[in-house]
Amino acid sequence: MALFDKIRGEFIDIVEWTDSSNDTMVYRFQRYNNEIKMGAKLTVREGQVTVFVNKGQIADVFEPGMYTLETDNLPILSTLRGWVHGFNSPFKAEIYFVNTRRFTDLKWGTKHPITLRDAEFGAVRLRAFGTYVIKVVDARALIREIVGTDSHFTTGEITEQLRNLIVSRFADIVGESKIPVLDLAANYEELGNFVTDKIKQNFTNYGLELSNMLVENISLPDAVEEALDKRASMGAIGDLQKYTQYQAANAMEEAAKNPSGMAGGGMSMGMGFAMANQMGNAMVNQQRQGQPETPPPLPQSPKYYVAIEGKQAGPFDVTALQQHIQSGQLTPQTLVWREGMSTWLPADQVAELQSLFNSTPPPLPS
């Protein structure tokens, strides 16, 4: 098999690479013993550049086009090898095809929540994710800094490092911006542009261009989202009492339309009565809330009948009894009666009237 590869390599006169994948960034041209014929044809398609490496040192770089590999168009490689005069024998060099098209829909996201201090919710933890687009703009820097001697370099081998760059800058920017959590959704575009400007130089150091970074979502913890949903639901319901009445009426209507046998009918009827009772209580409460409450009547002092000159007089309240005491018509021995007493009694034997006599001054001396 090695002999066949050697023979096939000696007859190769076209160096080219076609790629059907969507994630290959760098591909090393495969040939036996790294031998390339002088005078071979090199085809570099649009969206590619070709880099020649000699003994670990980057030599010539070819832009899209078709080239005949000779000492004239291999100036750096010729200098490294010391080809003073023309040279037609095969030469050894590593050839890397670098894909310069845009790599889109690359994912980034936070592995762990970002803890921030929010004015409304206090300390909260956020998760964020989105996409970004990169393009190779400096093939020399990419091979020197990242690829090395990798024969087939894909986006999956660098996206982890790029993701870490994006997340670290994103956490700093969100924390310093002081944007309220509920307003972050209105600033996705601004955040993406700001992060792009901040980390663009880090990508440039790798020979890459970060052309676009999108923030697709910033999510809150489940407990905070549940609290927000409840708050929004209460705001949408409005008057809770009217909403309860409406729900009760709908339930009664549905129960009446769908009786399912004796058990179902009884259950529906029971639910209907319960909801009707709830609705009736709610309506009564609403009526009570709309009308001012009337206080109960003030307690009345008891009234007494008095035996004056052998005749029944009255009934008299406490004020009238005091006047009769002052005039001498009511004495401690005067018989009195009120509702609830079994018989007539002298006034001084009624506990409620004893204080009236004690507070009355004696008659003036003659």
What confidence score (pLDDT) does residue 208 get?
94
Other beta carbons within 10 Å of 95: 21
Residue 39: predicted pLDDT: 85
- Claim to verify: residue 110 and residue 47 sit in the same structural domain: no
Residues 35 and 91 in one domain: yes
Local confidence pLDDT in tens for the 366 residues of the chain: 454 455 444 555 789 999 888 899 999 998 777 778 888 899 999 999 999 998 888 888 999 999 988 877 787 787 777 665 556 667 888 899 999 999 999 999 988 888 888 887 788 888 899 999 999 999 999 999 999 888 899 999 999 889 988 888 888 888 887 888 878 878 888 888 888 888 899 999 999 999 888 999 888 777 777 776 676 666 656 566 666 776 677 777 777 777 654 444 455 555 555 555 665 565 556 555 555 567 776 666 777 788 877 778 778 877 777 777 777 777 887 888 887 787 888 877 777 777 777 765 666 666
Q: Are strands 122-136 and 102-109 parallel, antiparallel or unpaired?
A: antiparallel
**Shared-domain flag, residues 126 and 88:** no
For the whole model, what pTM was predicted?
0.56
Note whether 127 and 17 are same-domain residues: no
Nearest to 33 by CA among 91, 97, 96: 91
Note whether residue 279 is domain-resident. Answer: no
Q: How many domains does the chain have?
A: 4
Task: Tell me, yes or no, whether 121 and 198 share the same domain.
Answer: yes
- Look at residue 282 and tell me if it is in a domain: no
- Specify if 322 maps to a domain: yes
pLDDT at position 25, please? 94
Residue 153 placed within a domain = yes
Q: Is residue 183 part of a domain?
A: yes
C-alpha distances in Å from residue 317, one per residue of 129, 215, 338: 87, 87, 10
Do 198 and 110 share a structural domain? Answer: yes
Domain that holds residue 348: 304-358
137: in domain: yes
Are 93 and 153 within one domain? Answer: no
Last residue of a domain, one of 99, 124, 157: 99
pLDDT of residue 207: 94
The domain boundary, picked from 151, 186, 220, lies at 220
**Amino acid 351: pLDDT:** 73
Do 55 and 124 fall into the same domain?
Answer: no
Neighbours of 123 (CB within 10 A): 8
The pairing of beta strand 94-99 with beta strand 24-28:
antiparallel
